[in-house]
Each structure stands twice: as C-alpha cells, then as structure tokens.
A and B are shown apart, each in its own frame.
Chain A
C-alpha cells in the first residue's frame, strides 16, 4: 500500500503538484489528465527522483519521503520512463540483468522481452542507444520494469511511440502483470484503451486530484466532459465563442 499524504511540489513558487492525498493498493490505476497537469511529476515524486516540497509518502507503513531513488527501488518501487534513457556502450543484456537481478536466468529475460514483442536473441547484445528505434527503446524500458517484478510499478505513457507493436499487446502486458504480481500498477496514459482496463482512474488537472475512483464511475464523466468541451480553436472556427 502506497499512501500520499498532502503532497505538494513547487518550482519557483509555482505549484506543480498541489495537496495530493491518495491511497494506492494492489490495483491498476490509470492516471490521466491534460498535459502539464502534474502526472509525470507525481510519478517522479513516488520514485524519489523529485522530493516533495511538503507532505509525506508512506510505503507499507514506512515513511519513505526522504528515501533515495535507490532505496525505493530496492523496497520494490519501479519506474518506466516516458523518454527511455540511452547509453553509450551499455547493452540490453546489461540493463536487463541489472533489472532482473544477478540470479536471473537468460530464459527469464527471454520471457520478459518476448512479452513486449522482442526476441532476446536479436536484442540482448544490441547497444541501448540510437541504433534502436524509439519504439524498441520504449518496449525495452517496459521490459526492464516487468523483469524487476516489484510490488509497485509506474509506467509513464507506455503507449507513446510503440510503433508496430499493437495496443492490444500492451494492455495484455498490464493485465498479465496484475494477475501475476498482485501489486500496484500506476500507468500514466491518455489512451482510452488503457483507461478501459484500469481498476481505478485518477484524473489530475493543474496539479490537483480532480477525480479519483473506480473506472466505472470516473470514465463516463471524463468522456462526457471531453465531449462537452471541444478544442477552443475548432470552436472558434465553427463560429462559437
């Protein structure tokens, strides 16, 4: 159980995240909302990449507000970046081994890579750099989190740049993960197809929790409100105000 207690995060007097309190259990939570609404910042606050200006973060009863990224990773929190990081000289094998742990077998890495539609034989010795496509890097980023098998996993816009690999496969990855790990999964996404498989939906706007609840309750409201407020540019072109 991950608990956020009145978390705020300011940058130069601007509130990026504002008084967010949440309880995230062993469930699939999709985080959505407009760009700049604080979704990625919230993910980074949970992973320890950013430290909150105020508030506390509790993980299974332990206050981890001051814990480092490393400590949180070792306590069981994983984070798949929105923009996968590239390395000069480090290979897929190196990162997969670090993610899976020293004792992991090659076949484990194989299984995880095949879950994201990549063949280990073709990819393990590739450099994790610009020689891979954006979609390949993104899938490897997801695979690293899968390989960690931790109790809480965060995915920041996993669908972005997923080239030829289909959405269906991506949603299957999350469903399978939920079945097998019985942990918390937090997925930041704009995609209805991902929102559709979530247990709960968190709608963040202007750094604040606008709505948080079961999918069946929140999703109709979001779709309804999106239909009511079309793009202002189109509205103007259509002769509206």
Chain B
C-alpha cells in the first residue's frame, strides 16, 4: 500500500491517481510493490541484479506500460536496471518516471539504467518525468541512463522532463540506429537554487536513411548549473539534428557543447545552440495584455518548457 506522500509522487511522475490500466510495475523505496503483466506485455524480475525485463510481443498495438519509481525514505540509494524488448511492428507507449520525497538528512539517489531494444518497424513513445520534493537537508539525486538500439525502420519518440526539485542529475542517453530508423528526443529541464543538471546525448547513425532529432529546452534560474553535450556520429547517409535552447536567469550558468562527426559524405548533420535571457519584447507584449512582469516571465517559461 502506498501512503499519501507516495501517492502524490506517483501523481507527479506518472499522472496516476491509482493503478493504471494495462501493464505496470511500481517500484517504491527499492522494491517492486505492485506489478501487472498483460497478454502482450510480460514483466519479469531480473535474477542477477535489481530490475526487470519487459517483453512486448511483436505486433502489439495501442498498449501502454507504466513503470514509475518513487523514493520516500531519506538516504536511500536505489539502482535499477530495466531492459525493454519491444517486438517487431509494435506500437506502444511506455511511461516511466522517478519521484523523490526527501525530508531527512541523507541523500536520496535513484540511478535508473534503461535499455531499449526496439524491433524492426516498431514504434515506441517513451515518456520520462523526474520530480523531487521534501524540505530535508538531504539531496535528491537522479542519474538516468538510457541506451537505445533501434532496428531497421524502428521509430522512437522520447520525452524527458525534469522540472523541479532535483538537486543533481546526470542524464546519459546513447542511441545506436540501423537503416531507416527514426529517433526524436525532447528534453525539458528547469533548474533552480544550487541545482545541477547534465545531459549527455550520443547518437551513432549507422544505417542508411536513419534520422535523429534531439531538442533540448532548458531554463536555468538562481545559482544553478546546466551542462548539455550532444555527439552525432553520421556513419552512413543519414540526417541528424540537435538543438539546445536555454533561457538563463539570475546567476545561473549554462554550458552547451555540441559535436558533430561525419564518416559519409551523405551524412547531413546540424547543431543549433542558443543561450540567452528572456526577450524583453516578449515580456512587454504580455504586460500590454495586463500581466505583471513576473506573471509574464512565468508565462514565457511555461510555454518554453511545454
């Protein structure tokens, strides 16, 4: 049974007020507390290390899988390996996320290592949301690693969001793409206070006609620090695009470090990076509609991180 704090975390990271429909695995304080497999989605505990293997039958369409993780015990260090085997021609949605409530003195850490094997012509939408709360002195740390293997013609859309309360996060995302595969990643990050967020993306575009689009929108406030790096390796005729766009406020610091490498003359790789404060004319426009400067700022940020 989940208590009130845990239920709130679940709502924040997975928009869930109760148990979801379809397959799910809810992990609370280092243990799986609730699980349901379905006819097409099988969830099996790993024997050699913490975590689960998820097998989605080829041809499974319009099914969803929820795998939220919540930590409410202060000082807990949770490490989990989740492997997703998505069969050919699937069309599925996976909703992951981690919520930490830390009201104690010890640091709470969740390191989630997710590996996706997306089969031929399969379509996957993966949504991951990170959230932290609690007024203890212990930090809330999350280090998500996402390994992505896209087979021929596979498509993956990934949305990663970290909006509040995570003190330190290192997100590592690595993708290996076969011919005709498509990867789209949207990242949204808001850091405040003394928080740090690092995002490191690498995509190996190995198959002919594959494409990859990584878009990161971040807002850095207070004294926070953000680091973004992206490495696109175009090893075949392919199209790769990354864009990191950051709004910097107060005394925050943002570093963007793109890298493109091409080993095929038909590899088309583009990187865009922009760091800047909120445009003055955006605030003025909103103020002429009756918003205060602060409300205008919030409106701009809310849109930017939508």
What is the minimal beta-carbon distance from B300 to any residue of chain A, in angstroms?
7
B130 within 8 A of A: no
Near A by CB (< 8 A), chain B positions 237-253 give 245
Contact between A95 and B282, CB atoms less than 8 A apart: no
Q: Please report the C-alpha to C-alpha distance between residue A222 and residue B246 in the assembled complex, in whole angstroms.
A: 50
B290 & A74 in contact (Cβ 8 Å cutoff): yes
- Verify A90–B284 contact, CB threshold 8 A: no
Give the residues from 248 to 290 in chain B that come closer than 8 angstroms, CB to CB, to chain A: 279, 281-282, 284-290
B217 contact from A70, A88, A94, Cβ within 8 A: A88
Please report the total number of A residues contacting B with Cβ < 8 Å. 23
How close is A72's CB to chain B, nearest CB, in angstroms?
A: 8
Judged by a CB distance under 8 angstroms, whether A232 is at the interface is no
User: Closest chain B residue to A79 by CB distance?
Assistant: B288
20 A-B pairs besides A87-B282, A94-B299, A95-B289 with CB distance below 8 A are A49-B288, A68-B287, A69-B284, A69-B287, A70-B292, A73-B287, A73-B288, A73-B289, A73-B290, A85-B284, A88-B217, A88-B304, A89-B217, A89-B302, A89-B303, A89-B304, A89-B306, A90-B299, A90-B300, A91-B303
Which B residues lie within 8 Å of A148 (CB)?
A: 289
Report if A78-B288 is in contact (Cβ < 8 Å); known contacts: A85-B281, A87-B300, A90-B299. yes
Within 8 A of B (CB), among A144-173: 144, 148
Instruction: List 26 A–B pairs whose Cβ atoms lie within 8 Å, in order of A's numbering.
Output: A47-B288, A49-B288, A69-B288, A70-B292, A73-B287, A73-B290, A74-B290, A79-B288, A81-B285, A83-B281, A85-B285, A87-B282, A88-B245, A89-B217, A89-B302, A89-B304, A89-B306, A90-B303, A94-B299, A94-B303, A98-B286, A98-B289, A98-B290, A98-B299, A99-B289, A148-B289
Interface size on B, residues (CB 8 A): 22
Give Cα A70–Cα B287 distance, bound, in whole angstroms. Answer: 5
Shortest Cβ distance from B296 into chain A, in angstroms? 8
Chain B: CB-nearest residue to A86: B282
In the assembled complex, the Cα of A94 lies from the Cα of B301 at a distance in Å of: 13
CB distance from A70 to the nearest CB of B (A): 5
- Smallest beta-carbon distance B288→chain A, Å: 5
CA A85 to CA B303, docked complex, whole Å = 14
List the 7 closest pairs (A to B, CB-CB), nearest first: A89-B303, A90-B303, A69-B287, A85-B285, A73-B290, A89-B306, A98-B289
With both chains docked as a complex, state the minimum distance between the C-beta of A171 and any C-beta of chain B, in angstroms: 24
Q: How far is the CB of A19 from chain B (nearest CB, A)?
A: 26
Q: Which A residues are closer than 8 A to B by beta carbons?
A: 47, 49, 68-70, 73-74, 78-79, 81, 83, 85, 87-91, 94-95, 98-99, 144, 148
Given contacts A49-B284, A69-B284, contact A88 B290 (CB under 8 A): no
B293 within 8 A of A: yes
Q: B160 near A: Cβ within 8 Å?
A: no
B15 to chain A: closest CB distance in Å?
Answer: 20
In the bound complex, do residue B245 and residue A70 qualify as a contact, i.e. CB atoms below 8 Å apart?
Answer: no
* Distance of A124 from chain B, by nearest CB (Å): 15
Residues of A within 8 A of B94 (CB): none
Residues of B within 8 A of A95 (CB): 289
Does any Cβ of A come within 8 Å of B158's Cβ?
no
Report the bound CA distance from A129 to B158 in whole Å. Answer: 23
CB-CB nearest in chain B for A80 = B288
Residues from chain A with a CB closer than 8 A to the CB of B217 are: 88-89
Chain B residues in 8 Å Cβ range of A88: 217, 245, 303-304
**Distance in Å: Cβ of A99 to nearest Cβ of chain B:** 5
Minimum Cβ distance to chain B for residue A108 (Å): 15
Least CB separation from A75: chain B residue = B290
Beta-carbon contact of B287 and A87 below 8 Å: no
Give which listed residue, B287, B289, B302, contacts A144 with CB less than 8 A: B289
Measured CB to CB, the nearest residue on chain B to A99 is: B289
A156 to chain B, nearest CB (A): 11
User: B176 at the A/B interface (Cβ < 8 Å)?
Assistant: no
- B291 contacts chain A at the CB level, 8 A cutoff: yes
Chain B residues lying within 8 Å of A98, measured Cβ to Cβ, are: 286, 289-291, 299
What's the Cα separation between A49 and B286 when bound, in Å? 12
Interface string of B197-220 (1 = CB under 8 A from A): 000000000000000000001000
**What's the least CB distance linking B268 to chain A, in Å?**
21
State in angstroms the CA–CA spacing of A23 and B282 once bound together: 30
Chain A proximity of B299: nearest CB distance (Å): 7
Interface membership of B231, Cβ < 8 A = no
Q: How long is the Cα–Cα vector from A148 to B282 in the complex, in angstroms?
A: 18
Q: Does B305 contact A (CB under 8 A)?
A: yes
Q: Are A70 and B306 in contact (CB under 8 A)?
A: no
In the bound complex, residues from chain A placing their C-beta under 8 Å from that of B281 are 81, 83, 85
In the bound complex, what is the Cα–Cα distance between A148 and B285 (angstroms)?
13
Give Cα A152 to B106, complex, Å: 59
CB distance from B286 to the nearest CB of A (A): 7
Cβ of B133 to closest chain A Cβ, rounded Å: 25
